Structure 1
């Protein structure tokens, strides 16, 4: 059975849900003492965030928006030697391999703490899906590949998780051959992550204009500021 995970870190989701539950319990004690109704303040804040996070987890779940986004990226991959930076549970890399049977697909990830991803999970998902994908441990900020090693480089919701975001973009283009295609999806329009958005040749489009993003995925803190950047490396 294929087991893909969403982009939401469980470590970020659980504390908010617990705080919401505690605030709700505090409000319930208002029947004993009205001072407990002050818990309505944190309940409104934590409850709102919980709705956004839980709703996003549901919308990105199996068969949801995450799959459609990966299919969108895969549709722009012509084949050849493909690198997926930040492959997570292998969903995008496997989608590309299934769409382009003649492609040679490699997925890299650090599979760091806080995620329910692993290289073993990726390899099992590829095996169950009936495709061949090579998965390697690595950092997007320092790729262990020679220059111009790939015909296509893709990345989905990864660069913003790495401290040296500019290095990630440079490294992605370094391992891409001249004339090769890149497709990057990340919150490039969010100044909290990108005070200066990367300037790349090609097109830039809000993800919401390309894929249906039902509530709450269009929220600015979810996918509302995510762009798809696609183009060809010039030199």
Structure 2
């Protein structure tokens, strides 16, 4: 008989949005100089699982980033089936911007 091991609750008690923004937004933006450009591919726009997309905007702005364009991936390139499916790239979005001085927003 297979034993099911009980995992400590701390393994499941982290904030995914906080983890995502700290590791994948703050780190790269912190390396850019003023005027530097960035581009992110956001695969997590499914409102069922990520109801507040403004968290990404707040994280970018907290590192002096200014979003210049947000475009769904399927508006840029034609996604064939199965790539256009919502569970693959259907919610993917391109976020571009640049680093600005705090006063120039």
The reply to whether TM is greater than 0.5 is yes
1:190 alignment partner in structure 2: 46
Q: CA RMSD in A?
A: 2.2
1:173-188 aligned at under 5 Å gives the runs: 173-188=29-44
Match of 1:164 in 2: 19
- Structure number with the higher helix fraction is 1
In the alignment, structure 1 segments of 5+ residues that lack a partner are 1-159
Task: Give structure 2 stretches of 5+ with no counterpart.
Answer: 1-15, 61-66
CA distance in structure 2 between the partners assigned to 1:203 and 1:188 by the alignment: 17
Q: What secondary structure sits across from 1:220 in the alignment? A: coil
Alignment of 1:184-223 (within 5 A): 184-191=40-47, 192=49, 194-197=50-53, 198-199=56-57, 200=60, 201-223=67-89
Cα distance in 1, alignment partners of residues 97 and 31 from structure 2: 15
Q: Report deviation, 1:163.
A: 7.4
Cα distance in structure 2, aligned partners of 1:220 and 1:230: 22
Please tell me whether Structure 1 or Structure 2 has the larger radius of gyration of its CA atoms: 1
User: Residues of 2 paired with 1:222 and 1:190: CA distance?
Assistant: 11
The answer to which structure, 1 or 2, has the higher relative contact order (CA under 8 A, 6+ apart) is 2
TM-score, normalised on structure 2?
A: 0.61
Structure-1 residue corresponding to 2:92: 226
With over 3 angstroms needed to count, the CA separation of the structure-2 counterparts of 1:175 and 1:203, relative to structure 1, is same
